Amino acid sequence: MATQQRAIFPRDAGLQVRMLLTLFLLGLLYVALIGALLAAGTGIVLMVVIIGALSFAQLFFSDKLALSAMGAKVVSPQEAPGLHSMIERLCIQADLPKPKIAVADMDVPNAFAVGRSQKTATVACTTGIMRTLSPSELEGVMAHELSHVKHRDVLIMTIASFFASIAATIMQFGFFFGGGDDENPSIIVVLLVSFLVYIISFFLMLALSRYREFAADRGAAVITGRPSALSSALVKISGAMQQVPKRDLREAERMNAFFIVPTSVKGAVQTIFSTHPPIEKRIERLQRLESQLQGTA
């Protein structure tokens, strides 16, 4: 059958170019680091192997850690029938296997996705967000999290941060490797390179994270066909965020990278230090998608 396909949203080339450039810069940076490490010799190679093993383990266990850190419990279809049905339909629409679904009993309205692959993914949300949002808004948020799963964001961010954590470890413990070895001046170079790699990769990682948030917003709009529902969810969540007592925020701080909205909204923190783009920017883009959808753009 001849099927005419109209993409409901055209490709966002600008976003993809920026993401590719960020990945390229990260890669370049890491090549420099590897070069310096090789020059430094065996002690450090061993350390790279150890960190490699740790990162690997992190990929396998971080989802459970993250869930328990948030106090999120996996819920059965009987316990949360509405949430399960909603996600099942989104999965059919997005052509994804159904992830595990977890709920955290806390007032902070938020949602996140964990898991290294599509098959092992878990999407979680707080009871706060279920109370705050309307069904179509919650659907937008869950579609955003499913997009993270579909785009394999946890895997990509873990790999991207692998070398950054090596650089960080060298900075912290590097002196021990060179300790007492006066004939090895290269350790100074390694430390210097590690320092630079750590600083630069820190900002590149944040940039990458922000781009992937935009991509997930876009993915959610494509899955649900309702960009405005996600916009209004973001408005509601960010508004509700500022009213939530500080104590809860601090507990939740560590989880920021996978949240739909970061939990600390201290005015407009300089965007370069942020894992998420500012809400206004995200809404602006979602509204652009809505205009494209309505054919008015």
Residues binding another protein (CB under 8 A): 1, 3-12, 15-16, 19-20, 23, 77-78, 81, 84-86, 88-89, 91-95, 97-98, 119, 135-136, 139, 147, 150-153, 156, 211-212, 215-216, 218-219, 222-226, 293-295
**Which CB sits closer to another protein, 89 or 250?**
89
Q: How far is the CB of 137 from another protein (least distance, A)?
A: 11
Shortest distance in whole angstroms from residue 230 CB to another protein? 13
Minimum CB distance to another protein, residue 26 (Å): 11
Least CB distance from residue 1 to another protein, whole Å? 5
Of 124 and 143, which has the nearer Cβ to another protein?
143
Judge whether 145 counts as a catalytic residue: yes
Indicate which residue of 139, 145, 213, 290 is catalytic. Answer: 145
Q: Which tokens is 156 given? A: 């990509």
In the complex with another protein, the residue whose CB is nearer, 53 or 74, is 74
Q: Nearer Cβ to another protein, position 120 or 184?
A: 120
Which residues are known catalytic residues?
145
